[in-house]
Structure 1
Amino acid sequence: MRILVIEDEVKIANALARALRGQGYAVDVEHDSDGGYAMASTEPYDIMIVDRLLPGEYADGVALLRKLREEDIDAPALILTALGSTEQKTEGLDAGADDYLTKPFSVDELLARVRALLRRPTIHQDTVLRAGKLSLNTTLHETSYDGELLDLTVKEQALLEYLMRSEGRPVSKEQIISHVWDFDADILPNTVEVYIKYLRGKIDNRFKVHYIKTVRGVGYKFEAH
């Protein structure tokens, strides 16, 4: 899953990025509303975390979010702010925010809210993804087959999660890169092939199943049957 953090306080932005990457998410960071708009309007994100007070053309996170919603960019958005009055929260939610977290906040609470947003119908799927005997717990970061824990790296699990969330739908290498790796990561399509090979070795080949299928001319498709 890929997350855009738009936060002008560099220390906070970096701390959020570290925490989110530690959970296996791909994270891009922008420090003003102009950069945030440029990224959100051109790149696919599963969640946006937006500070309320931002420098730039769109004045603040609410104005930025309102602009994005007008352009039918519907990725779930969590607003971060030190402005916590009822009126201010209402304004943010009316602008298109899906959640609102007041500073100071705990990283654990933010991560829980991110997981909650990912469970909503616009993204679909639950905290525990299942396909046949394969189970991926996105909260505990554990993957098992028929009850046996698998030794997956953080990036392998992130790739598997994206494939499972796209079950039955072919996805290209470019789509995988855009959702599993950061924007500035130097990733080539061959890198995707390498990680697909890792997953097949640890799951398909090991347990004699065929979950990860190659779709010629397109990319890959995850199917449990």
Structure 2
Amino acid sequence: MAQIFLVEDEERVAALVKKALEESNHSVEIIPDGAEAIRKFALKPYDLAILDIMLPYVSGIEVCRHIRQKNKTIPVLMLTALDSVDDKVAGLNTGADDYLVKPFHLKELQARVDALLRRNAADAEPIITVGNITLNTSNNTVEREGKKITLTTKECALLELLMHNSDKILSRQTIAEKVWGISFDTGTNVVDVYVNYLRNKIDKGFAEKYIHTVVGKGYIFKTEV
């Protein structure tokens, strides 16, 4: 049973989400505003956070930023009535792993929650090694030449995809579908943003670079150029 942190000020939406997720055997705690969310998050551990963007007192974006300062790996799903590309990217850049635009189907919400939680499933193969990089998906960490690097859940998912497909070119569309579960929108640069996050964490400062851009095609994870 996952402990889910739901920050939503619309009582009807919160009640529906809570009911749907509890039917999937999760435990859901509802917090009605951003200020209370920041206070509550410090009191006990959670397995996943669901945040509305438009909240009283403190926005969901600020709550997400606070969560990421305290916990780099907890999956964060944003709920938003704002459907612009800039708003979606702002949420993802703050540290959210996924988003849903209101109104949404509860089955889709359940599927996205389950997909985020599966990252920490006990039966998942936790260790992947390519070249001198070792990825541990059980705690979202990378070790390279004795240096341990912590990733967010979405960064871990992206690196896992790239490493499982080493020496293969992956298009932005494929990455968006596999990592975010969404159709690729050419108006968003979220894939490029997260690839840059990864490069700064696992390639910067090392002589050998692993993540390469293939102009007009996408990205490839290679141990040799």
TM-score, normalising length: structure 1: 0.52
| CA contact 1:119–1:126 (8 Å) conserved in 2 | no
Aligned residue number for residue 33 of structure 1:
34
* Equivalent residue runs for 1:94-133 within 5 Å: 94-120=93-119, 123-125=120-122
* Equivalent residue runs for 1:1-225 within 5 Å: 1-56=2-57, 58=58, 60-72=59-71, 74-120=73-119, 123-125=120-122
Write the letter of the residue equivalent to 1:72.
N
Write the letter of the residue equivalent to 2:13.
I
Gaps of 5+ in 1: 128-164, 166-225
| CA contact 1:5–1:30 (8 Å) conserved in 2 | yes
Post-superposition shift, 1:74? 3.3
Post-superposition shift, 1:81? 0.5
Moved runs in structure 1, 4+ residues, more than 6 A? none
**Identical-residue share of aligned pairs (%):** 40
Q: Which has the higher contact order (CA 8 A, sep 6+)?
A: 1
C-alpha root-mean-square deviation of aligned residues, in Å? Answer: 1.7
Write the letter of the residue equivalent to 1:89.
K
Post-superposition shift, 1:126? 5.8
Distance in 2 between residues matched to 1:89 and 1:25, nearest whole Å? 26
- 1:103-142 CA-to-partner distances (Å, cap 9, x unmatched) read 010000000000000112xx23469xxxxxxxxxxxxxxx
Post-superposition shift, 1:73? 5.3
TM-score, normalising length: structure 2: 0.52
